[in-house]
């Protein structure tokens, strides 16, 4: 009977071992390179868009702001800070009016928007329909301003009601309260959406637990809801403020002479009527700086409420 011969064990030399692990090494190298390229590859499109459509236009605007009137396009380019000196001296009151109206309108948005957002998140069943209707103000302040202007005119849709209340529609027009109302109405959805998104992440059981422990409604708001929704409040306020300081059609149609001194309206007149592109660009840079400064200060003193 033939006895089976066991195969001899294969002795692996250094050469055969290197050949065996070479595919694994190559595969690991490919994974490392792909991992290194994946991060920059995902960031690259956003970086290109930011540079081309944000940083380059801002740099171009800064260069225009350093020239006299339209010299950047049609004359000799002499760069100086004369335009900024004009903005900070002759047009300083316009800057103050712009910041004050933008701040007050944003405060109105917060006062109206927070309760509306809470009701929308906690009480309204068909909240998607309400959110759809809230998108209408986002079509532009021009439509809202013209609508309010038409409603308050003599013979308008509310003329009978205003006469019954012994209120003159022309007294409401061309006033600061109506200007603030128009600005707040345009930016109202921004506040509601940001606060609503923040409140949707707050567990309702926390409110119930606070009520069970004897907390009053205002204590539930100040100790539970407000701290947990601070990020949404800050984001909504910053967004509303940034839009409000750039709106100029609302002061034109609804504001008086004092409200029409906003810097955005002066900027539009300098650029489109007087062709003083250098001064208009300087005003735009100042408005941009104000928005960035308010955002930075808010993030600094709110201890990173937006996760920054």
pLDDT in tens, 285-307: 999 999 888 888 777 765 545 44
Tokens of 84: 């900024």
Taking only the tens place, the pLDDT of each residue in 51-64 is 888 889 999 999 99
The answer to whether residue 86 scores a pLDDT higher than 70 is yes
Residue % of the chain over a pLDDT of 90: 28
Burial (CB < 10 A; 0-12, 13-18, 19+), residue 247, is buried
Q: Given pLDDT bands bounded at 50, 70 and 90, which one contains residue 1?
A: very low
The predicted pLDDT at position 73 comes to: 87
pTM of the model: 0.78
H-assigned helices in the chain:
14-50, 56-65, 71-74, 82-89, 92-122, 127-134, 141-152, 159-164, 169-172, 176-199, 204-212, 217-220, 226-228, 230-244, 249-254, 263-272, 277-301
Residue % of the chain over a pLDDT of 70: 83
- 224 and 118 Cβ atoms separated by less than 8 Å: no
From 301, 186, 192, select the one nearest 254 (Cα to Cα). Answer: 186
- Count the Cβ atoms, other than its own, within 10 Å of residue 130: 15
Tokens of 114: 């927070």
Which of 20-24, 103-107, 139-143 has the least mean pLDDT?
Answer: 20-24
The answer to whether residue 88 scores a pLDDT higher than 50 is yes
Mention every residue, 6+ apart, whose C-beta is less than 8 A from residue 184. Answer: 105, 106, 108, 109, 112, 240
Which of 25-39, 118-132, 255-269 has the least mean pLDDT?
Answer: 25-39
The predicted pLDDT at position 308 comes to: 43
Taking only the tens place, the pLDDT of each residue in 56-85 is 999 999 999 999 888 888 878 889 999 999
Q: Given pLDDT bands bounded at 50, 70 and 90, which one contains residue 167?
A: confident
The predicted pLDDT at position 5 comes to: 53
What domains, with CATH codes, occur in the chain?
Answer: 99-262 (1.10.3720.10)
Taking only the tens place, the pLDDT of each residue in 236-277 is 998 899 889 988 889 998 988 888 889 999 998 999 889 999
The predicted pLDDT at position 37 comes to: 62
Q: Given pLDDT bands bounded at 50, 70 and 90, which one contains residue 282?
A: very high
If one compares 94 and 16, the residue with the highest pLDDT of the two is 94
The answer to whether residue 127 scores a pLDDT higher than 80 is no
The answer to whether residue 120 scores a pLDDT higher than 90 is no
- 148 and 186 Cβ atoms separated by less than 8 Å: no
Burial letters 161-183, b for 16+ CB under 10 A, else e: ebeeeeeebeebbbbbebbbbbb
Instruction: Give the chain's mean pLDDT.
Output: 83
Average pLDDT for residues 124-142, to the nearest whole number? 74
CA dist., res. 108 & res. 106, Å (int): 5
CA dist., res. 61 & res. 287, Å (int): 12
The predicted pLDDT at position 35 comes to: 64
The predicted pLDDT at position 131 comes to: 73
Average pLDDT for residues 87-95, to the nearest whole number? 92
Average pLDDT for residues 214-234, to the nearest whole number? 88
If one compares 86 and 173, the residue with the highest pLDDT of the two is 86
């Amino acid at each position: 009977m033939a006895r089976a011969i066991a195969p001899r064990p294969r002795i692996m030399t250094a050469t055969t071992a290197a050949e065996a692990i070479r595919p694994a090494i190559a595969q690991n190298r490919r994974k490392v390179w792909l991992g290194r390229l994946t991060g920059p590859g995902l960031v690259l499109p956003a970086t290109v868009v930011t540079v081309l459509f944000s940083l380059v236009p801002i740099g171009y605007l800064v260069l225009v702001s350093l020239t006299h009137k339209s010299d950047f396009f049609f004359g000799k380019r002499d760069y100086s800070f004369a335009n900024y000196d004009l903005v900070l001296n002759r047009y300083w009151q316009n800057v103050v009016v712009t910041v004050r109206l933008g701040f007050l309108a944003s405060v109105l948005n917060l006062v109206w928007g927070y309760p509306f957002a809470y009701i929308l998140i906690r009480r309204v069943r068909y909240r998607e329909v309400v959110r759809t209707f809230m998108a209408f103000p986002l079509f532009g302040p021009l439509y809202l301003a013209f609508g309010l202007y038409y409603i308050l005119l003599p013979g308008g849709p509310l003329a009978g009601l205003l006469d019954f209340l012994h209120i003159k529609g022309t007294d409401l027009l061309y006033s600061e309260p109506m200007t603030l109302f128009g600005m707040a109405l345009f930016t109202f959805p921004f506040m509601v959406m940001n606060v609503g998104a923040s409140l949707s992440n707050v567990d309702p059981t926390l409110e119930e637990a606070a009520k069970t422990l004897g907390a009053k409604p205002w204590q539930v708001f100040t100790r539970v809801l407000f701290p947990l929704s601070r990020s949404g409040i800050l984001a909504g306020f910053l967004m509303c403020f940034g839009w409000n300081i750039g709106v100029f059609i609302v002061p034109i149609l609804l504001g008086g002479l004092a409200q029409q001194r906003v810097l955005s309206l002066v900027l539009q007149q300098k650029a489109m009527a007087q062709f003083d592109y250098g001064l208009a660009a300087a005003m735009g840079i100042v408005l941009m700086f104000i928005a960035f400064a308010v955002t930075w200060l808010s993030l600094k003193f709110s201890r990173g409420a937006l996760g920054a």
